[in-house]
């Protein structure tokens, strides 16, 4: 038994789970365990109620196009609670499709436009969008390295997406592209940071390959729940996995 | 046969002869390419010589195709089949045009049993009207190269639509195969080895795809799951449920890493390979055989007298170590291998090798969808990692609760790695190109002959 615990919601984990996204929870749990914190995992899927006050961390992963259209419909029912969670500074990691659906809309490869819930200000067009100036009609696939401008941390991952995301007002990139393509191949941004929300196209998954980011988000989640303890200091004392 | 097709065939055959006899190189792609360049309709021309059975799906195509071949041969058919790996259009054409087709001993038309890559089903089916489509399973697989599973299934359906008279013989335990609008006669095979009293209704674990009901896209419930998205499913929102099975595994008796015994439609059977997933392959071959009137006794004989065809899971000896090599390439396949290891009664060690070349899939994130945590439920005593992406695996296994691993950055140390293990039994799970490199090392050290 541990004295401290956090509750994790995995949004649509049985539908949006295509590229090892659950690995982010494995990594978070791995670090949490070493500092005496247990993680309660809960799947929140189609038809389930998402109560923003019940969770300390939320993962919203990527999925296949077909599942993503199904999820987009259900997500509308959870939009208000998700917005509250985000505005209350709840930590959230959104990958690929999850990242896209938190924005205004996304356009699939076949041109189908899918509504996001617009709780964040970005939007996503597809690889055939006329306004693209580079890599038209191509998926953005390959290894990627970015630098977080706030912290100077470097993150490594693998990207594989056709969608092109453009950030909106009040959003800044998770990092600047050092090598690879990022959100749209054009503006050198990768991912998003908004309050305590981190969005990214990184597979890897991002927390497994970039222990520095995993620890940062874990510290945020724990400090929000147990503010009296210096979690960053505790996490600094354990080994960080990076590859 | 037209003059053009005769020339095309003759050219392909001499190219094949030259490659194999003079250069000692395998492969059927080049002869296929040559034949098509001389006569683009070559496939359509030769199709009158045989009935075609197309085998497609994500996992198990190669072994299933080999088993179907043996089963049909046991039933007195002449069978043409493509070698493992040659499952794209060029290779298949090469196989068909370079094979001399003898009459079937049973007097019936010869059968071509072809393993066809999912994306190539339409091209083949458009050129040659198949008699039967055999659908094994659909799982996510190396998404940097292949599409999503619903897109993949759409490609298969496009092929099926070219042959409305063909029977679609599908794995009924896979709900995705209940989708699709086509007029073909459908038949299903699956598992019915659990008594209704023992059903434990559950939804699939989170990292399972293809679990939506074809009727209303709700998440399906399973009375039981055999593995991944396969099992006896039903919808909680309407009356959709698994269809009636024409061929079924009614009993599973023994599961060991080396062999399994089970019962299909009243016939007790044994296959010389471990893993529940391989029983599916046997079931598929049984179903195809029965469709072509091969008797259950002949099928049983086919399985039992062809032990060597279960070769992909390879057993070798390295000094005093009994080494079993298995291929891993995606989460479902890896989970199945781990399930198989759970049936190992002896202590064993595991060496995992990960490469990320094109043939392996360049995205390694799938290792996080495979449940290495389940290795805690086996008799594994030591684990080591290696391959070009050993770092990914090292961290994966560390986070799965295996902090003490030997790490081999260089595959040249593989023989050393095997000898260093504390147990007599050793399993090696490797991705495709890592397995090729491994075989080269073992060949150079004299533990396996030849290589390939």
Question: For chain B, what percent of residues have pLDDT higher than 90?
Answer: 65
Entry field: residues in chain A: 243
Helix (H/G/I), strand (E/B), else coil: A30: helix
B333: left (phi over 0), alpha (psi -120 to 50) or beta: alpha
- Residue B109 has phi, psi (to 5 degrees) of -65, 140
Distance CA A119, CA A104 (A): 8
Quick: pLDDT tens for B235-252.
999 999 999 999 999 999
By C-alpha distance, the chain A residue nearest B391 is: A243
- Is there a contact between B148 and A64 if contact means CB atoms under 8 Å apart? yes
Check CB contact under 8 Å for A203 and B206: no
- pLDDT number for residue B451: 46
Give CA–CA dist B212/B179, Å, rounded: 10
Residue B148 is predicted with a pLDDT of: 80
What pLDDT, on a 0 to 100 scale, did the predictor assign at position B27?
63
Q: B131-148 burial, b if ≥16 CB within 10 A, otherwise e?
A: bbbbbbbbbbbbbbebbb
Q: B19 pLDDT band (50/70/90 cuts)? A: low
For chain A, which residues make up each domain, given as ranges? 4-236
Q: Are B185 and B168 in contact (CB under 8 A)?
A: yes
Give the Cα-Cα-Cα angle B139, B145, B149 (nearest 5 degrees).
30
Omega of the bond leading into A205 within 30 degrees of 0 (cis): yes
- Rounded Cα distance between B397 and B400, Å, is 5
CA–CA separation, A100 and A130 (whole Å): 19
The two three-digit tokens of residue B336, written as one number: 């199945």
What is the pLDDT averaged over residues A167-172?
Answer: 94
What pLDDT is recorded for position B410? 82
Between chains, do B363 and A160 touch, taking CB under 8 Å as contact? yes
Q: What is the pLDDT of residue B10?
A: 77
Kindly determine whether residue A64 and residue B206, on different chains, have CB atoms separated by under 8 Å.
no
Is there a contact between A40 and A58 (Cβ–Cβ < 8 Å)? Answer: no
Q: Which two tokens stand for residue B100?
A: 């001399």
Q: Quick check: A1 pLDDT over 70?
A: no
- Asked if B110 and B104 touch (Cβ cutoff 8 Å), the reply is yes
Q: How far is CA B398 from CA A110, A115, A116, B207, B374, in A?
A: 40, 39, 37, 20, 13
Residues of chain A neighbouring B148 (CB-CB closer than 8 A) = 18, 64-66
Q: Which residues of B touch A30 (CB under 8 A)?
A: 398-399
Interface probe with A: pick from B204, B212, B395, most Cβ of A within 10 Å: B395
pLDDT at position B136 is 97
d(CA A215, CA A28) in angstroms, rounded, equals 8
The whole-number pLDDT of residue B14 equals 74
A188: region left, alpha or beta (phi > 0 left; psi from -120 to 50 alpha): left
The CA distances from residue B442 to A142, B422, B447, in Å, are: 32, 19, 5
CA atoms within 13 A on the CB side of B181: 1
Kindly give the pairing relationship between strand B380-386 and strand B348-353. parallel
* Spatial distance between the Cα atoms of B73 and B70, rounded to a whole number of angstroms: 5
What pLDDT is recorded for position B452? Answer: 40
Predicted confidence band at A3 (pLDDT cuts at 50, 70, 90)? confident
In contact, B160 and B177? CB cutoff 8 Å: no
- In degrees, rounded to 5, the angle at the alpha carbon of residue B375 between the alpha carbons of residues B373 and B380 is 150
Cβ–Cβ under 8 Å, residues B426 and B341: no
Q: What is the pLDDT of residues A47-100, one digit of tens each?
A: 999 999 999 999 999 988 889 999 999 999 999 999 999 999 999 999 999 999
Residues of B with a Cβ under 8 Å from any A Cβ are 140, 143-144, 148-151, 203-209, 211-212, 217-219, 362-369, 391-392, 394-396, 398-400
- Distance CA(A207)–CA(A200), nearest Å, equals 11
**Architecture, CATH, for domain A4-236:** 3-Layer(aba) Sandwich (3.40)
* Cα dihedral across residues B188, B190, B195, B197: positive or negative: negative
DSSP state letters, A52-97: GGG-SEEEE----HHHHHHHHHHHGGGHHHHHHHHHTT--EEEETH
pLDDT of residue B310: 65
Helical spans, DSSP H, in B115-274:
121-127, 149-160
The contacts found for A137-142 with CB under 8 angstroms, 24 or more apart, are A140/A180, A140/A181, A140/A182, A140/A185, A140/A201, A141/B144, A141/B362, A141/B363, A142/A180, A142/A181, A142/B362
Residue B428 DSSP label = E
CA-closest candidate to residue B169, choices B185, B193, B150, B191: B185
For residues B249 and B227, is the Cβ–Cβ distance under 8 A? no
Q: How far is B59 from chain A (nearest CA, A)?
A: 17
CB contact under 8 A, A158 and B400: no
Active-site residue, selected from the candidate residues B216, B238, B346, B363: B363
Check A26 against B368: CB less than 8 A apart: yes
Contacts of B362 in chain A (CB under 8 A): 141-142, 158
Q: Do A158 and B362 touch (CB under 8 A)?
A: yes
pLDDT(A19) > 50:
yes
Q: Look at residue B277 in the predicted model and tell me its pLDDT.
A: 93
Q: Which residue of B has its CA nearest to A44?
A: B206
User: Of B39, B54, B51, nearest to B9 (Cα)?
Assistant: B39
Contacts A205 to B, Cβ<8 Å: 365, 368
Instruction: Return d(Cα A120, Cα B104) in angstroms, integer.
Output: 67
Q: Is the pLDDT of residue B199 over 50?
A: yes
Chain-chain contact of B392 with A45 (C-beta, under 8 angstroms): no
Query: What mean pLDDT is predicted for residues B279-305?
Result: 96
Higher pLDDT: B204 or B428? It is B428
pLDDT tens for each residue of B123-142? 999 989 999 999 999 988 76
pLDDT at position A161 over 80? yes
In order of their start, the domains of chain B are 3-309 (3.40.1190.10), 314-444 (3.90.190.20)
User: Token pair 């050393």 is at which residue?
Assistant: B416
**Binding-site residues on chain A for chain B (CB distance < 8 A):** 10, 13-15, 17-23, 26-27, 30, 43, 45-46, 64-67, 70, 141-142, 158, 160, 203-205, 208-209, 241, 243
Residue A203: which of B203, B211, B365 has the nearest Cβ?
Answer: B365
Q: What angle do CA B252, B57, B254 make, to 5 degrees?
A: 15
Q: Which chain B residue shows the shortest CA-CA distance from A73?
A: B217
Nearest to A22 among B150, B206, B391 (CB): B206
Size of the A and B interface in Cβ pairs below 8 Å: 94
Structure confidence at residue B430 as a pLDDT band (50, 70, 90): very high
The beta-carbon neighbor of B148 closest among A13, A20, A66 is: A66
Supply A22's token pair: 């659950």
Query: Which residues of chain A are within 8 Å of residue B369 when distances are taken between CB atoms?
Result: 17, 19-20, 22-23
């Amino acid at each position: 038994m541990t004295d401290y615990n956090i509750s994790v919601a995995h949004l649509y984990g049985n539908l949006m789970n295509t590229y090892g996204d659950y690995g982010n929870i494995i990594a978070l749990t791995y670090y949490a365990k070493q500092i005496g914190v247990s993680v309660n995992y809960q799947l929140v899927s189609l038809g389930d109620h998402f109560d923003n006050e019940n969770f300390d961390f939320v993962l919203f992963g990527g999925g296949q196009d077909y599942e993503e259209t199904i999820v987009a419909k259900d997500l509308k029912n959870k939009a208000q609670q998700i917005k509250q969670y985000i505005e209350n500074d709840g930590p959230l990691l959104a990958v690929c499709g999850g990242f896209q659906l938190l924005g205004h809309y996304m356009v699939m490869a076949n041109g189908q436009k899918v509504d996001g819930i617009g709780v964040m200000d970005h939007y996503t067009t597809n690889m055939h969008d006329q306004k693209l100036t580079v890599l038209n009609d191509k998926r953005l696939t390959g290894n990627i390295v970015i630098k977080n401008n706030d912290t100077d941390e470097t993150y490594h991952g693998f990207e594989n997406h056709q969608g092109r995301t453009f950030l909106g007002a009040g959003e800044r990139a998770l990092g600047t592209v050092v090598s690879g393509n990022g959100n749209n191949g054009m503006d050198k941004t990768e991912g998003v940071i908004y309050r305590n929300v981190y969005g990214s196209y990184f597979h890897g998954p991002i927390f497994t390959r970039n222990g520095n980011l995993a620890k940062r988000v874990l510290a945020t989640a724990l400090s929000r729940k147990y503010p009296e303890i210096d979690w960053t200091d505790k996490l600094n004392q354990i080994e960080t996995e990076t590859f | 046969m037209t003059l053009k097709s005769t020339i095309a065939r003759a050219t392909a055959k001499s190219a094949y002869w030259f490659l194999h006899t003079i250069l000692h190189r395998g492969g059927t792609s080049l002869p296929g390419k040559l034949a098509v360049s001389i006569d683009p309709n070559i496939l359509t021309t030769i199709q009158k010589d045989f009935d075609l059975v197309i085998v497609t799906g994500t996992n198990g195509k190669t072994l299933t195709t080999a088993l179907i071949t043996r089963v049909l041969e046991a039933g007195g058919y002449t069978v043409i089949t493509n070698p493992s790996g040659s499952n794209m259009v060029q290779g298949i054409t090469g196989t068909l045009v370079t094979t001399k087709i003898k009459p079937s001993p049973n007097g019936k038309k010869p059968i071509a049993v072809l393993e066809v890559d999912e994306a190539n089903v339409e091209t083949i089916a458009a050129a040659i009207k198949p008699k039967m489509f055999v659908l094994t399973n659909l799982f996510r697989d190396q998404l940097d190269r292949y599409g999503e599973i619903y897109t993949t299934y759409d490609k298969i359906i496009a092929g099926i639509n070219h042959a409305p008279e063909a029977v679609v013989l599908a794995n009924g335990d896979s709900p995705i195969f209940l989708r699709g609008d086509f007029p073909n006669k459908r038949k299903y095979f699956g598992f019915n080895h659990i008594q209704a009293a023992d059903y434990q209704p559950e939804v699939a674990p989170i990292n399972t795809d293809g679990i939506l009901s074809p009727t209303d896209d709700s998440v399906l419930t399973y009375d039981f799951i055999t593995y991944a998205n396969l099992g006896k499913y039903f919808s909680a929102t309407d009356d959709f449920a698994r269809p009636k099975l024409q061929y079924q595994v009614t009993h599973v008796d023994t599961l060991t890493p080396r062999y399994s015994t089970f019962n299909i439609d009243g016939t007790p059977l044994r296959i010389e390979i471990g893993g529940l997933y391989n029983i599916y392959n046997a079931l598929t071959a049984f179903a195809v055989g029965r469709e072509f009137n091969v008797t259950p006794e002949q099928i049983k004989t086919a399985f039992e007298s062809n032990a060597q065809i279960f070769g992909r899971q390879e057993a070798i000896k390295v000094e005093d170590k009994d080494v079993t090599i298995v291929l891993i390439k995606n989460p479902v396949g890896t989970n199945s291998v781990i399930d198989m290891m759970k049936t190992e009664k002896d202590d064993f060690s595991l060496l995992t090798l990960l490469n990320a070349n094109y043939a392996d899939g360049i995205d390694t994130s799938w290792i996080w969808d495979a449940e290495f945590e389940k290795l805690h439920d086996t008799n594994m005593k030591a684990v080591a990692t290696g391959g070009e992406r050993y770092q990914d695996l090292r961290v994966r296994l560390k986070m799965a609760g295996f902090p003490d691993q030997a790490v081999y950055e260089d595959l040249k140390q593989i023989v050393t790695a095997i000898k260093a293990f504390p147990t007599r039994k050793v399993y090696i799970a490797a991705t495709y190109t890592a397995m090729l490199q491994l075989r080269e090392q073992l060949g150079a050290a004299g533990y396996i002959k030849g290589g390939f």
